[in-house]
Chain A
Amino acid sequence: MERRPVPLAPTAFGHRGHALFPYFFLAPCLLLLLALTVYPLFYLARLSLYRMTPEGEAFAGLANFARLVTDGFFWRALGQTLVFTFSALTLEFLLGLALALLLHSQIRGRSLWRALFLLPMILPPVVAGVIWRLIYNPNLGVLNAALQGLGFDTSRLTWLADPSVALAAVVVVDVWEWTPFVFLILLAGLQAIPEEPYEAARIDGSGPWQTFRHITLPLLAPAILVALLLRTFDLLRLFDQVFILTQGGPGFATETISLYIYKTAFRFYDFGYAAALSFVLLGATLALSHFYIRLLQRPERTA
């Protein structure tokens, strides 16, 4: 029977000096984590009840949270972040799945292609921002040049400068940088599926579409779940690319929640309000991560 990894019994180290042994190993790690992730959260909680200005801080009770409710810019930023997350997620999933299926089939030089498609993801997001700012530039950019080559009139196409298109343009950049992430996970998921079900399906005479729907997709579900959930976390925290591409402009069109909190804290020196905003975001991601961990742990038990 497959033995669940039963940890070594403490007495394995029960000798006088060794009873405390596990804690000796864990202590530095716990201390550092407490200092760097837990204490800041308490600090944040306290901070959100104060109004901080360069001259000093004053207790403000729930004023920051009250302001948050009526702050149009906050809800706009949150809304845009969610729209951004949802659209980028679907695109990245579809493209990632297509690329994974493509490379899972017999293509020459498969590992070379895999390494190449990996590159955008390894890149610093800042550099991705630089590249696409080059491409999107209405006059110097290669995108408009290519479109002109194809006979389009690009005089009205300004991409990052046009509020109705800017958000989509930033989505494309994120899709460019992070589709390889989804592709890699799904490819690994595909490769983990054994050959037998496919052979059986072939013998039973199911066509490519039925095989995909009845065999590949269900067996790939855990990998899909992991990829989508991890991407959701990353998309919610978007900052680097938007900072380089548009700094939230034009107007307020591509402002994300992270950028809004950054500006509130470091451009307007309003740490109290920024703390309150961060606290709301913390609550949302905690709920989401709890949901994610429960999902992640469940397949392990059934596998």
Chain B
Amino acid sequence: MEALTQRRGGWLVAALVVALLLAALLAPGCGRDEAAARSVLLAVNAGVEAEGLKQAARDYERQFGVRVEIVEYPYPSLFEKLLIAFSGTTTTYDLVMLDDPWFPRFAQMNGLRDLAPLYQTKKLDGPDADFLPPSLALCRHPYATGRLLALPYVGNSQLFFYRKDLFEKHGLDPPHTWDDVLTAGLRIGAAEKMHGYVMRGAQGNPIVADFMPLLWAFGGELLDADGRPRVDSPEAVAALELMLRLGKIAPPGYVNFNADEVGAHLAQGTAVMGINWPAWIPTFEDPVRSKVAGRIGYAVMPSQKNAGASAIGNWLLAIPRGSDKASLAFDFLLWVTSPEAMRLSAVRGNPPTRSSLFEDAELRQRFPAYPVQQQALLGSRPRPRSPVWNEIENTFGTYLSQANAGVYPPREALARAQRDIVAILERWNAAQSR
């Protein structure tokens, strides 16, 4: 008979487990509310910038007692999460980090909060003039003239890295045009048994970012003045052909490289030249992690028919319209983009967006490349301000990557890209006109 009663005990245990589980399931809801009042949720791109922001958040909490919770996502996933957050009614984030090409899309979706009224509450009429104009222009919708919906936080623009010691050794002056890059790459590469050039070939954002400077230097444009794609222009074909020639002297497998592999090759001294983001400078100068400390030269983008222009790649900080803690988020936004906080972030390796910091003596001593970075940033160009940029970049990037992998010859790859980009824009315009 005891077995029957013992079994009744079994049911009690089961009920307990269920109750415990239900509590755990529902707990986060309330868990988040108590601490939520004094906390701000920030979504960031996993990587160097995220590390900087985490330390800034800790300093901010110590100083002002407001917790800044940070969630990290890799580049493609961050865009997806933001796209979902902005399209829904309520959003989960109070502050978000945007790559500048995404800005038009989210601004168009009316997902970002206008900062002007928030400035008024602080009795300020707007961001101070210390911000570099090209960076600030990215934060306005429409571009450069419209409402201010964000503040530039990381002032990235592509830099051209080259082994200045090898150039001196072979009696060559730094490459001025892309043809120089090719010839120097061939010569030094052969002589030193190294890869003449290294670039990002992974499909999507990486390869497009590395191709734009070439395209602009050859006088090509991705979208013409009134937004029609001209991807298959002769200039574009010439630019892609040069890219393929550079590919010949690049490390095998560059078609799948992201910034990580490019940086590794430059730091291990297995490549002569390459484009990368300034965030890698500390790595190159660190003797522990790099075999070429002190032997890397920095330059603006080589020119060709037109003057060289690097693609601007600023990370912006914006407040989602759906967030109910806008003022709390704005306080942190102002603090983190203030000169003092941005200086700390610069020291941690994130290029600033304020000219005062670029010209700061102490920072220039630490980061010899600042003058070139500032110059590159001032001369940089934004990638086309289209709300459908992400789809264009993905399709264009796929064809560029296939061209580099030899799947299509340059002319055919660009023709296919042109056809698909036209279709994307048509679909977008059809949806808009409804």
Chain A residues near B (Cβ < 8 Å): 51, 53-56, 58, 72-73, 138-139, 155-158, 160-163, 246-253, 263, 266-270
Residue of A nearest to B433 (CB): A58
Select from chain A the residue with minimum beta-carbon distance to B106. Answer: A54
Partner of A267, one of B109, B390, B432: B390
Query: In the bound complex, do residue A269 and residue B405 qualify as a contact, i.e. CB atoms below 8 Å apart?
Result: no
Q: Which residues of B contact A248 (CB under 8 A)?
A: 203
B326: CB under 8 A from chain A? no
Q: Known contacts A54-B86, A267-B394, A269-B83; can you find 15 more A-B pairs with CB under 8 A?
A: A54-B87, A58-B431, A161-B253, A161-B254, A161-B257, A162-B253, A162-B255, A163-B255, A249-B204, A249-B401, A251-B402, A252-B203, A252-B398, A253-B405, A267-B83
Known: A163-B405, A250-B405, A252-B402. Contact between A53 and B431, CB under 8 A? yes
Contact residue among B394, B399, B430 (Cβ-Cβ distance under 8 Å from A263): B394
Instruction: Flag if A161 contacts B256 (CB, 8 Å).
Output: yes
CB-based contact B83/A54 at 8 Å: yes
B391 at the interface (CB under 8 A from A): yes
CA distance A269 to B389 in the complex (A): 13
Give the interface centre of B203, B204, B391 by most chain A CB atoms within 10 Å. Answer: B203
The one of A56, A160, A251 that contacts B407, using a Cβ cutoff of 8 Å: A251
A131 to B1, CA, bound (A): 54
Given known A58-B434, A158-B253, A250-B255, contact A266–B83 (CB-CB < 8 A):
yes
Q: Which of B382-434 contact A (CB under 8 A)?
A: 390-391, 394, 398-399, 401-402, 405, 407, 416, 427, 430-432, 434
Question: In terms of DSSP, what is the predominant structure of the interface of chain A?
Answer: loop
A55 touches B252 (CB 8 A): no
Instruction: For residue A278, give the distance in angstroms from its CB to the closest CB of chain B.
Output: 17
B254 and chain A: residue at smallest CB distance: A161
Q: Does B264 belong to the interface (CB within 8 Å)?
A: yes
Decide if B255 touches A268 in the complex (CB within 8 Å): no
Q: How far is the CA of A263 from the CA of B254 in the complex (A)?
A: 23
Q: Is the CB of B431 within 8 A of A251?
A: no
Tell me the B90-145 residues at the A interface (CB within 8 Å): 109, 111
Once the chains are docked, how many angstroms separate the CA of A99 from the CA of B167? 58
Could you tell me if B256 and A160 are in contact, using CB atoms closer than 8 angstroms? yes
Most B C-beta atoms less than 10 A away, residue of A55, A163, A250: A250
CB contacts under 8 Å to A, within B257-272, are 257, 264
CB-CB nearest in chain B for A155? B252
Measured between alpha carbons, how far is A157 from B430 in the docked complex, in Å? 45
Known contacts A54-B86, A139-B264, A163-B405; is A247 also within 8 Å of B76 by CB?
yes
A158 touches B252 (CB 8 A): yes
CB distance from B92 to the nearest CB of A (A): 16
Contact A267 B79 (CB under 8 A): yes
Q: Is the CB of A138 within 8 A of B253?
A: yes
Closest 7 CB pairs of A and B: A158-B253, A161-B256, A161-B253, A251-B402, A54-B87, A58-B434, A251-B401
Return A233 CB to nearest CB of chain B, in Å.
27
Minimum C-beta distance from B93 to chain A (A): 16
Determine the distance from Cα of A122 to Cα of B185 in the docked complex, in whole angstroms.
49
Interchain CB contact (< 8 A) of A249 among B86, B87, B202, B391: B202
Q: Which chain A residues border B86 with CB–CB below 8 Å?
A: 54
A162 to B407, CA, bound (A): 11
**Neighbouring A residues of B202 by C-beta, 8 Å:** 249-250
